[in-house]
């Protein structure tokens, strides 16, 4: 199942965009997903999940966080079932800006799997990524925290080592490389070097036209994937 998602691009506005602005970029990304065939995940604040899901057709709408909470008590927490019903098809877990304990991460991955919500689990080093891989998330983002938002891309050696270490634990996990990704060429390189997908925040939102940048990134990834399969 996961292999069908390759290559994938995660458009991650975090909390910079919400409401109408988030929807506008989501609609543009939706068209790009249809045109390129690249799997596009689109993250949004919890309150916008249903809005974006109901106004797009080709995106995997992605929640920024989730908890292992069961229906019942839990005032102020993030219930998996509510995200699923609102239209979330995936969820980010353990991002550097919202880390989880090991127990909570493992339990939440299990809850997501039971609800058929794809998981994008984050790690800040190759070693941590290998450990998180034992929890069997669908996608594993190995991202050095000190490169987030800097525009400095992790080198090819980092990509190779990360992919190798994660696939050695579980070859079915898709590996996302996203540190400092800001251009279409960066995205192309991730796929050529063996990554399954990538994504970005500042690299997209700081572009002269974020919608055009998403399109350029997706087109570059589609080209890279095609070249790999025609060698």
The residues annotated as belonging to the active site are 95, 143
Beta bridge partners of 60: 41
Contact 161, 126 (CB under 8 A): yes
What does DSSP assign to residue 154?
A: P
Nearest to 38 by CA among 180, 201, 198, 163: 198
Element (H, E) at 52: helix 49-54
Q: Which residues contact 35 (CB under 8 A, 6 or more apart)?
A: 215
Contact 193, 185 (CB under 8 A): no
Structural tokens at position 202: 């500042």
Q: What's the Cα-to-Cα distance from 124 to each of 9, 103, 128, rounded to whole Å?
A: 19, 17, 7
């Amino acid at each position: 199942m996961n292999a069908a998602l390759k290559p994938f691009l995660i458009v991650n506005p975090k909390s910079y965009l919400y409401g109408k602005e988030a929807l506008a970029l989501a609609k543009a990304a939706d068209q790009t997903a249809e045109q390129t065939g690249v799997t596009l995940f689109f993250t949004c604040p919890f309150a916008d999940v249903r809005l974006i899901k109901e106004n797009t057709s080709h995106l995997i709408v992605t929640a920024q966080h989730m908890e292992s909470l069961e229906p019942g008590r839990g005032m102020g927490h993030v219930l998996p079932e509510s995200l699923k019903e609102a239209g979330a098809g995936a969820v980010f877990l353990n991002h550097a800006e919202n880390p989880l304990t090991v127990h909570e991460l493992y339990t939440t991955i299990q809850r997501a799997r039971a609800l058929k919500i794809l998981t994008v689990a984050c790690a800040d080093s190759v070693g941590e990524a290998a450990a998180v891989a034992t929890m069997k998330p669908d996608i594993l983002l190995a991202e050095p925290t000190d490169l987030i938002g800097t525009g400095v891309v992790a080198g090819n050696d980092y990509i190779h080592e990360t992919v190798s270490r994660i696939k050695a634990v579980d070859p079915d996990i898709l590996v996302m490389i996203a540190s400092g990704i800001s251009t279409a060429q960066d995205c192309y390189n991730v796929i050529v070097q063996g990554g399954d997908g990538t994504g970005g925040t500042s690299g997209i939102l700081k572009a002269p036209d974020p919608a055009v940048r998403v399109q350029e990134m997706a087109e570059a990834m589609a080209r890279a994937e095609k070249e790999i399969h025609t060698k």
